Amino acid sequence: MGVLFWVIQYKYMLYIKNPNKLLKHTIVIPFVSVVIIPMLFMDLWMEIYHRICFPLCGIPYVNRSDYIRIFDRAKLQYLNPVQKMYCMYCGYGNGVMSYWVKIANETEHYWCGIQHKKVDNFAIPEYQKNFSKYDDEQDFKK
């Protein structure tokens, strides 16, 4: 039943444009799916951190609903149940990681408002544009 479920599920996913990869996709799907377990634990931990530490430091809360959308695509009538399930999975997974990044950005801004050193293969993140310049003590002291 398990293998048959994964094979049937593959039929309905976006990568049906590559039917010659059925075996590869069938092997990958359980690995993709099991990521939900550590993601849920990390989400719980980040939420505990966010709700306890942000108020103690006077950092405004990050609005979770600005980043996570789970059910919107599941309401689309033209998706089958498996597609809806994976749309919810991806909406949660990508949304919750964006939410964590925003929490980490706000944490970094509070604790270390210094830009990283500019190097060729590293783009200074947009949220760091207002941080003090790397190796500029005067800017840091301002």
The structural domains of the chain, with segments of one domain joined by +, span 35-117+124-141
Q: How much is the pTM?
A: 0.79
Sign, CA torsion 136/59/55/52? negative
pLDDT in tens, the chain (142 residues): 444 444 444 445 555 566 677 788 788 888 989 999 999 999 999 999 999 999 999 999 999 999 999 999 889 898 888 888 888 999 999 999 999 999 999 999 999 989 888 888 888 888 888 899 999 999 888 8
The DSSP result for 63-89, as a single string, is -GGGT---STGGG-TTS-HHHHHHHHH
Q: Can you list the positions of beta strands (E) in the chain?
A: none
Look at residue 13 in the predicted model and tell me its pLDDT: 54
- Amino acid type, 106: E
